[in-house]
Structure formats: C-alpha cells, structure tokens
Chains A and B, each alone.
Chain A
Amino acid sequence: MTEPLLFADIDEPGLNTLDVYARRGGYESLRKALTSTPEAVLHELEASGLRGRGGAGFAMGKKVSFLPKGSMDKYLVCNADESEPGTFKDRELMQKCPHMLIEGIVIASYAAGASRSFIYIRGEYQLQADMLDAALVEARNAGYVGENILGSGHSLSLVVHRGAGAYICGEETGLLDSLEGKRGNPRLKPPFPANQGLYQGPTLINNVETLSTVPTIIRIGGEKYAKLGVETSTGTKLVSVSGHVQRPGNYEIELGIPSREIIYGLAGGPPEGRQVKCWFPGGSSSPVLTAEELDVPYDFNSLAQAGTMLGSGAIIVVDDSTPILDVALKVAKFYAHESCGKCTPCREGTNWTVKVLQRIEDGQATPMDLDIMASVQEHIIGNCLCVLGDAMAMPIGSMIAKFRDEFEVHIESRQLSPVGASRALEVAGA
C-alpha cells in the first residue's frame, strides 16, 4: 500500500481547525486551482479517473462536465447523508478533517461554475454537523468561502443543511426534494440533476469522500492520481469494515487489492474459532459474497464481475455464528422501513419480503415460499423508480441463491420444533 491520501494526517490532533489543516498544506490546492482556469481544473478531475465514492461509482469528472455551460444559477450539493448500513467513512472525514471537504467543494464548484452549494448532512450526525459549521465559519473568515474567493472572482455560498433521518434522502433526487423543503421522494430520471436538479437548476451532486479527494488530485495532479489503483478503479478508497471482525474501522486502501487482505489483514478477520459465512462488499445493499470469494480484488469492476458491487465501500462480515435468516430479515426490515412508498414494486415488494421472512422465522413457511420470495426479488430488480428496491432485492436474492440449503433447513426445523425453541440446534444444522 502506498501512502494514505485522505487519511494521511487524519489522527493529527486539531486537524479539524483551520490552523492545523493549513499547517498541513490545507487550502494550497484551492490556491493552485484558482490560479488556473475552471477548464484546467476539470481536466485534472477527468484525468484522475476518480469514480464517485457514494455508491454508484460514476466518474466524477464526467459528471462535472455534464453540467451545461452558461450563466444560469448552478448548484453543488454534497451528499453527506451517509446512511447505508455499515458505512461510516464520511463521518470520520467530516469529524476529523472538515476543511478538506470544504476545500474540495470550493474547487469542484469552481470547475463546475456553481455559485451556491449545500452540504446535506444526515440528521443523526449532530457532532459532525457542528464541526462542519465551526469549520465553515473559519473558512468564511479566511476568505475561502464567500464572495470573490482569494481574489479569483469566483464566489460560492455554502450552507450546511441537516436531514431529518430518512435513508431515502441519500438518494440524490430524494435529497434534492428534501433540500427544497418537500417530502424526500426520488424524482423520475431523466431529467438528471446535472440538467435539472435543485430548484430546477443544473446541479452537481457528490459524496463527501469524492469531494474530499479533490484537493489531493489538484495537489498531486490527475494523471499521477490515476496511476494509483487499477485501470478502471483509480486511487485510494476508504473502506468501513464492520461486523464479525477483530478490528472494525475505516481503512484507506489502494483499489484493486485482494478483499481478503482487507478483511483478514487490516481488520483481523473473524473472532478466534469462527469462519466467515458471508460478507457484504459494499454496504448492506450489495449482494453477499461467500468465504470462497474472499480473494476477489477490491475494485469496482472485479466486484461487478463477481455479481456484486463496491457500493459505498462498506464491508460487513458475517461469521458462522449467525443464521442467514437473521441477516436477511435485518436487511429486509431496514429497506421496508426506509422505502419511501412512491413506486409500487419497492413499496409492496419490500413489505412482502419482510412478511415472508418473518413467517419463515415463525415456522409457518414451506420451501415453496423461497421460490416465491426469489421471484419477488426478481420482480423488484430493475422495475423501481430509484435503486432502493434493488438495494433490498439484490442482497436478499443473493442470500436465497447462495444459502438456500440453510433457509430450507431452517424452515423444516422450525416447523418441527415449537416456536421459540432454542436456535442453537438450527445453526448447528446449517
């Protein structure tokens, strides 16, 4: 692993203050960017090959270039509604190094020609929002945010907006509706936010980690950044490892290293005497992989080839002490609870799935229910207004496909034993 970029100074005491951040070279990238043209900055971003760190993995430079040219009001929105189960990397970034995000936002807004920006932060992140607010005051006073930044003629307003606790507001168009003061429901796409986003204006939406990477790219240059990682997944990535590992936490890795190295090497693997049963490579919405698939290189394309996705970069490890049914029920309940209810397949499909899983849990199911549930997942995938429905259907579908035996054993043993009997038996039998 090369030197960390985002986490280089992350544990430096006081890094959240402008003083320490500036001493560590903070806002130098902004100065550098503002001395060149927005086109040149955009060129660096495109050259870096940086892919969005929020979940979809769309090339960031390309996204910026999609914004129409012209003098209309353009917006930049930072998606800090980090709500995907297992994901906590943005939290650490905002809490320990808020100025890096602010610097990234100002540089990106310069490239995109945006004059108003917002950080939409998850409501539960109260501490982080307070830290951002404090950092923003410092940045404003220092002239990094506001009118005519550093005499460049570029102006940017920046507002930290706190969400109210809905997962769906992390979906970019749901976020925009919420930011506009409406119920946070996803919008129909097209039009895409780059053309018609916030208040109908062209809008660039990026994740915290993506924007926090921007100063680094400007500092070392896009082409040099692109040399890190592998061809289609450049650079470094923060990975949140959680679940049954000995050293859970955020790790900055170079994309393309074997997943085993993260789970076992960095996070220490499952506790003594336990085995990995399955793992989510990119948050709870990614299809699960098994212990046999631990050597998949951790990058966008390799994971896609393995039938899953890198998503938000949150690895959740499940060991053999946990019945797969518990995992499925937890995941399904989360998405059924968070479904906004706007489109039919997601609203009804997530709800249906929970009810069937609950019935399995209660010993009222037959193996036929597994077929029904698998087909329900197929009916959800690709048919929804946004990706929330898929976010449940993909992992549940993968669990049924990969752990069908365990589900069946569970169904049968449940039918035999009285409801509420000890579960140790079933787990052992799995």
Chain B
Amino acid sequence: MPRPQPRTITFTIDGLEVQAPENSMLVDAAKHGDIEIPVFCYEPKLGNPVGACRMCLVEVEGIPKLQTGCSTPVKDGMVVHTQSERVKTAQNAVVEFLLINHPLDCPVCDKGGECPLQDITFGWGKGTSRFIEPKRHFVKPLELSPLIAIDRERCILCYRCVRFSQEVSEDYQLVLQERGAHSYVTTFDGHPYVAPFSGNIVELCPVGALTSRAYRFRARPWDIEDAGSICTLCPAQCNVSFTVRDERVVRVLARQHPDVDDGWLCDKGRFAYQAIHVEERITEPLVRDGGELRPASWERALQEAAAGLRRAGPRTAALAGGASTNEEGLLLARFMREGLHSEHLDTLAGLDPAELHRLSEPELQATVPDLEFAHTVLVIGTEPVRDIPILDLRIRKGVRRRAVKLAVATPHASSLDAGARLALRYAPGADAAFLQALAEALYGGEVEQAARAAEADAEQLRALAELLRTGGEEIVILYGQRVLAGGGAETLLKLARGLNLHGHDGAGLLAVPAGGPNGRGLLEAGFAPGYGPGLQALPSGETAALGAEGIRAALDAGELGALYLLHTDPLRSELPHEQWSAALESASTVIAHASYLTDGLRAHANVVFPAESYAEKEGTIVHPDGRLQRLRPAIGRQGATRAEWSVIAELAQLCGLDLGVPSGSAASQQLFDAVPFYAGLTLEEIGGRGVRWQERDAAAAFPAPSSGRASAQATRPIPGANGAHPPTPTPISLWDAPEVEFSPSLKFLHRERVSA
C-alpha cells in the first residue's frame, strides 16, 4: 500500500506562518512552529483522536466554537490562535476541572516530577482552585495486576489505557465502569489485568494513576538517569531506555523507534530488568571443583578453561545464542577457527547457512514497517506474541488501521487468528510440507495430496493461494525459521520468486530467528558452520564443519572433546533433552558464559564465566530486518563480571592467539572491517537509531548466493516423507526464560517446563 505522503501547507498560528504536513492534527502541526498545545488524551499511537480531555481547545478563525487541536486537521491558510483570551479561559477551566477531583498528592506520587498533569497545570493552569467541596474517593491503591497498581483518585479519565487495551493490544480487558464523575477504569469483574503488553499502560498514563509495582517508590525523577540501549531478550530488539538509580536499573521505558517497536514494549522487556539484580545472577567465575561449581578467581577460571580448550584443540565445538553480540560472535569464531582450528560453530537452531544466505538477500528483505503497509501479510510457522511479541502489535495495527489482509498458517491456534482473513492449521512439524502444499496451490499443482501430507485443509490452501495472487502485490511473509528445515527453505524461496517479492519495495520476507535474539547478527559475523564473516563460504577443510545436530552427535560419539557455550544451554532449548544431556555428559570440557546457572550448566559446565546483562553490554546486534543496533552500557558490570569480548580475547591469548582487540570499539571496528557489506560503518553512524545495512551503498558487497549449492548439512529427514511427522517439541515461550523466572515481579508468569 502506498505510504502516506502528505503535501506541505502553510498555516498561521499565533501570528506565525508555519509549514506543516497537510491534514496533520493541529497539535502536531503547531510543533512545526515551536508552539505547544497541551494534551492529555491525544496519543497518535492509540489511533484516532477521541477529544475527551478538552485540554487542546484552540480558536480557529471561521469556526464559531473552540476546536480540539487533537482532532482538527490542518488545512492550507488556516488561522489558529492558541493564546487568545478565549482559549486561555478554556485551558484554565479544563485544568481547574481536572484538578478538582485529583488528590494533588504529588509529594508521594511516583509520577511527580515527570507528570504531564503537573507540567500542564504549571504551564496552562491558573494556579488557584475554587473548589472547596469534598473530593471523590476510591479505595487505593489497588492491584490492577501483579505488575500494575491503580490509584483511581489520581485518574483523569483520559481513556488512554482503555484505548490501548481495546484498540492496540486488543486484549479487551480494560473497561470503564459507572458514569460521569463516578467513572473508573477497571477490568471485567475485577479480574487482574494480565496480558503480554499490559505494562504499556503505565507509560501511557499521563498522571500517577497507573504505576509499575516494581518501580513504585523506588526513585524520584531527580534521583535517576536515563540510558538508551536495546532490549536483547528476544529478536524484536526493541529500543529501550534504562532508568538507573545508584548503578541499578530500576525501570525500563520504551525509546520509541517507529521502524522497530513503534514505541511499545512487552511485559518481559519492561519488567525483566529486575533479574539483573538478583542473587541468582552469576557475577563471578565458577569452576567445577569436587563435582560442584564453586566461585573461583578469574585467573584460575581462565587457566582451567584454556587448559581444557587446548587439550581438545580442533575437537572443540562452540554454540552461541541469547544476547551474544556480533562482536562476541566474530571473536569467538576467530578463536575457534584461528586458535583452535575448529570449524564446528553454530547456534542451537542448526539451520543451513547456505539457505539462510539465500533468504537474507537484500532484495528479498521486508522491514518491520512493511508489515503495517503491505496489502497482504502471511504469518507462517511462528506465533509472534510468543516469538517476537512487538510484531504482534504491528500486525494488529496494520489489520485494524490499514486494512492489511492477514493470513496465519501455524500448527497451533494463533492469537492473531481473530483478525485474520484466513487462519490455516497444519500438523506440528509439517512446516515444509505445508509450504509445499501452498506452492502446489499457487502453481496449479496437485493440492489434495500435498495438503494431506501437511494435514492441512486443501480448500483453505486454495483460498490462501487466491488471496496471495489477488490481494495486491505487496506481500510480506513473516516466517519462523523452524519452517526452513527439510526443504522448507527451498520452497519458501520458490514462493517468494513466484509472488514477485524479489526487489519489490514494501514486499519481502521477514524471518523470526530461531538462533536467538541476535541470530541474524551471529550469522553475518561469521558464527556459522562453514561460513565466515559476511556470509562468505569458507573452503571446506579436511573435516566437514558441523552444525548443532552434528555437534551433538559428535559429542555423543566421543569425537569432540570440548564445548563452548556462549549464552546458551541446550537443556533450556526445545531440542531433545535426553539426547543433549547425554552429549553434554560425554564432553570432557564445557565452558560457558552465562548469567544464570541453568540446568545444563549446573550439571555439566566445568567453567562458567559471568555474562554481562544487556544493561551492561557494549557492542552491536542485528535486527531480523537487517538493522544494526548498538548496545550501550547503562550500568557498570555487576560483581566481578568482565567484558565478555575481553574474556574471549584472553582465552585466545592463553591458547596462543592474539585477537588484537584492545577495546570494545576495536572489536566493533574489526567486525565492520570483516563483513564486506558493513564496510565503512562506524558506531557513530549506527548511533541511537540503528542503521539497516541494506540501505547503505556497501550492501552491494553482499555475496551473491550460489543457488543450489550443496549445503554442508543437507541431510535432514524430510517431514512427512515416511507418512509421519517427526516428533516436534512444544516451542519455547518467550516467558520460559531465566529472566522471567528470576524477576520478582514477573515470576508469577513463569511455568515450570515439563521436559520431554
């Protein structure tokens, strides 16, 4: 769909000629002339204005009544007054009205000091009150949910939270009850407001009515500092701002990036910061001693680890995941290849890098905003709210506000089904078979049989094919990388070709990485079997480069001796628990970087280095749509934790390899030099907003994939080939993470997983 491209018009506001985009609302247009019109209920992220608070009343010449600036589109030649007596009287009046039932308990209110009601009262209020009657009273504060407290006396009934619940997250839980001055925000029957995005209402609230229970009374605005960084708890990589008090993260706020998160955060991103400061966190090196992991000095831990790695040499394998940065991936890959002469490195997803290479071509790449403006969005093999939550909101926004046609094809019921034109189901594990069946339906093949193989409905498949054929050319396919196995990648590429997604602006593929939040970055940094930095295929050596599954088998068979786990634990993954447990058992040395002692590490690690939390890390990561984003430390490293790039460098040094990284930024520089399509990048260029490498000139250096190249590990069972789909484990939920388990306030959302 064409993006809105408003023309610029000129209007007069307070005697000033100002240029602004046509039809933008007056409150926004006024900003182009540095004029502020106060608002409470207006928030463009929430959709159409409601005009409820009446704070933004202005005078428009030619219209007898005062108009709400939030809902009046600006036209060429319009003459607006925001400072006339009439307007001032109205503004004073609204502030006075808002305050008559407000408790004015600013000294004990969390919002005090960063409160729009305070600011607007100061700027547009009269400063006096004529109201001497008793104020409205409510029982307070109440738990709206385990995460959020509600103080109904402070509420100015701006409707923001209710609109968020009804029209953005579409959980439909918040409602207003009663009428008039007795109205209050609540949920049906007083049930707790538990939803994946509930925390956003705390940030939306323009007064202190909704406060974070985790942050309540922890700090005042003059105690805190803000530090911008990226949340690396999932592949959505939302831009966040850490609120820091006394070297502790006490809050996480959205840092509003329209091309990444649209200004929203999920509850995990908003509240899991608590796990940074918990006792369970590993903040010093641990070494197995007498069968148990015990704290040790850095020197001893490094020596032990280096000894184990030297012993295993080329019989070492490395697995990375989690919040590993590009730099860590690059350095560990170099250490493995140049220091230990091992080619066995992968993420736990164990995807074929040759296929990933072909799928990550710049011409095929869709961006996050494309999800909102496409004609059709096909979600396949992923549940966004579980795998990459913030995109769930983006898809809903497209469907609700831009009539995007949504089709969802998943093995399990999806939370997006309700807004989808088509919701298709197929058997768990039959992703590739389903893609094949869709291809048959699109290209007039034998649909029935293919549909049967995927246990999908042939009729619906035909309807989906019809939708993709006729629904408009801008099609975005959001797929979970799980669908790529067993020939799925090949079929997906075929579909992309057939649907003309190649090089078509606004159309393309968008992957939900299976290899951790920075799955894409690790691949591009060269942390993949047989692929160096910049997706350059390496000449195959004497022994084949092993992927995750190969590593497991080789460990099991005693062919590999040591395993290096960078922010990952196979026993916390969806991979078969017993097989991996056995493989870890067979490894003579297991070295790990970790923040928490998860099952696999507790039982099998020989040395555990404390990992930096995402608020402590520096480096870069890559968003699934190719945006390089920069992590900046918000707080100092906790306890004895050291920069992990330096830990890898020191280990390499002890094994006789000088990686040549005196600093974190030197590591980044090494990355930019190593990846041809990052050429010339600097940390400054990435800055606070990130940069999509596809949009830079250096993107031309993206190596052309050799189609049909025999992949390093192409021998995978094809699902459905022998009539049965391979057993697939239940996908790991976003909430099934140590950060959730160890955050005091999020703990209630954690469920013990029953291991397969």
Contacts and interface: CB of A to CB of B under 8 A. Distances in A.
Contacts of A32: none
Contact of B100 (A166, A346, A348): A348
A211 B119 CA distance: 50
Contact of B182 (A341, A346, A352): A341
Contact of A345 (B50, B94, B131): B94
Given A344-B54, A344-B156, A359-B133, A379 B97 contact: yes
A356 interface: yes
Interface stretch (A90-98, A152-160, A332-340): A332-340
B54 A384 contact: yes
B183 A341 contact: yes
Contacts of A345: 54, 93-94, 97
A340 B179 CA distance: 5
B734 interface: no
B576 interface: no
Contacts of B156: 344
Contacts of B175: 183
A348 to B, nearest CB: 4
Contacts of B183: 340-341, 347
Interface in A359-399: 359, 372, 379, 382-385
A355 B133 contact: yes
A188 to B, nearest CB: 4
A58 B377 CA distance: 45
Given A384-B54, A385-B51, A350 B180 contact: yes
Contacts of A384: 54
B156 to A, nearest CB: 7
Given A341-B179, A348-B100, A350-B180, A372 B130 contact: yes
Interface string B65-101: 1101001000000000000000001100110111011
B180 A347 contact: yes
Contacts, number: 96
B53 interface: yes
Interface residues on B, range: 35 or more
B49 interface: yes
Contact of B57 (A337, A351, A372, A383): A383
Contact of A344 (B52, B176, B178, B182): B52
Contacts of A338: 179-180
B157 interface: yes
The listed residue with most A CB atoms (<10 A of its CB), out of B130, B157, B176, is B130
Counting chain A CB atoms within 10 Å of each CB, which of B50, B136, B178 scores highest? B50
A352 B54 contact: no
A231 B96 CA distance: 44
A339 B98 contact: no
A344 B101 CA distance: 11
B179 A166 contact: yes
A86 interface: no
Q: How large, as a class, is the contact surface on chain A?
A: 20 to 34
B72 to A, nearest CB: 9
B180 A183 contact: no
A343 interface: yes
Contacts of B94: 344-345, 383
A342 interface: yes
Contacts of B580: none
B721 to A, nearest CB: 50
Interface string B50-66: 11111101000000011
Interface in A81-127: none
Interface string A180-205: 00010000100000000000000000
B756 interface: no
A109 to B, nearest CB: 28
Most central of B156, B175, B178, B183 by chain A CB within 10 Å? B183
Contacts of B93: 345, 379, 383
A382 B156 CA distance: 20
A13 B277 CA distance: 83
Contacts of A339: 179-181
A379 B53 contact: no
A352 B133 contact: yes
B57 A348 contact: no
Contacts of A168: 179
A188 B54 contact: no
Contacts of B335: none
Contact of B53 (A344, A352, A359): A344
A349 interface: yes
Contacts of B130: 372
B159 interface: yes
Contact of B176 (A341, A349, A355, A359): A341
Nearest to A339: B180
Contacts of A385: 51-52, 54
A34 B435 CA distance: 56
B133 A347 contact: no
Contacts of A372: 130
A144 to B, nearest CB: 38
A344 B97 contact: yes
Contacts of A359: 133
Contacts of B51: 188, 343, 385
A74 B52 CA distance: 28
12 contacts: A168-B179, A336-B180, A337-B180, A339-B179, A340-B180, A344-B94, A347-B183, A348-B181, A351-B101, A355-B134, A379-B90, A383-B90
Given A344-B53, A383-B66, 12 more contacts: A188-B50, A336-B180, A341-B183, A343-B51, A345-B54, A345-B94, A350-B181, A352-B100, A383-B54, A383-B93, A384-B54, A385-B51
Closest 5 CB pairs of A and B: A379-B93, A341-B183, A339-B180, A351-B181, A348-B97
